[in-house]
Structure 1
Amino acid sequence: MADEFIKGLGIFTAGGLGWMVLAGWYRTESFESSQQLVAPVSLSDSATMFDTMGVLLMDTFFWFTIIGALTFWVLIPVVRQAREVIQDGS
């Protein structure tokens, strides 16, 4: 169980840090506003390919963080417990 926890924590930390860095670049218009990191992305017409890739990577980091952590913290332990119950019941 500790192995799954640390894998989930690593995914949560790395993915969350990646998302926070990119969200700080692309979602924070000013540091005086109350919508830091959660404001809608506003790319100008002069957005480069790297800006587009950054926004795509930001969304990828977000979902990797959520799905990866839930997989190691919830899904894998539930499957293992269900396997044990099925094998003990047979």
Structure 2
Amino acid sequence: MADEFVKGLGIFTGGGLAWMVLAGWYRTPSFESSQQLVAPISIGDSATMFDSLGVLLMDALFWFTVIGALTFWVGIPLIRQAREAIEERAQ
């Protein structure tokens, strides 16, 4: 059980940190505003290929963080408990 927790924590912290860096670049219009990290993406007309890749990577990292952590913290322990319950019932 501790192994899954550490894997989920690693995914959560690593993916979350990378998402926060990219969100700081693309979703923070100014540091005086109250919408840091959650403002709409403000690339403008001067978007390069790297800006587009950064925005795509930011969205992918967000979902990787959420789904990856939930998989290791909820999904795998739930599957193991269900498997144990099925094996106990079969005996």
Q: Shorter-normalised TM-score: what interval?
A: over 0.9
Structure 1 residue runs of 5 or longer lacking an equivalent are none
Q: Which amino acid aligns with 1:45?
A: D
> Does 2:43 correspond to 1:46?
no
Structure 2 residue runs of 5 or longer lacking an equivalent are none
Number of aligned pairs?
90
CA distance in 2, matches of 1:74, 1:36: 30
Alignment of 1:1-90 (within 5 A): 1-90=1-90
Cα deviation digits, residues 6-61 of structure 1 (max 9, x gap): 00000000000000000000000100000000001022111100000000000001
Deviating 4+ runs (over 3 angstroms): none
CA distance in 2, matches of 1:26, 1:7: 28
Aligned residues: percent identity?
78
CA distance in 2, matches of 1:54, 1:64: 15
Report the 3-state secondary structure (helix = DSSP H, G, I; strand = E; otherwise coil) of the residue aligned with 1:44.
Answer: coil
Compute the displacement of 1:62 (Å).
0.3
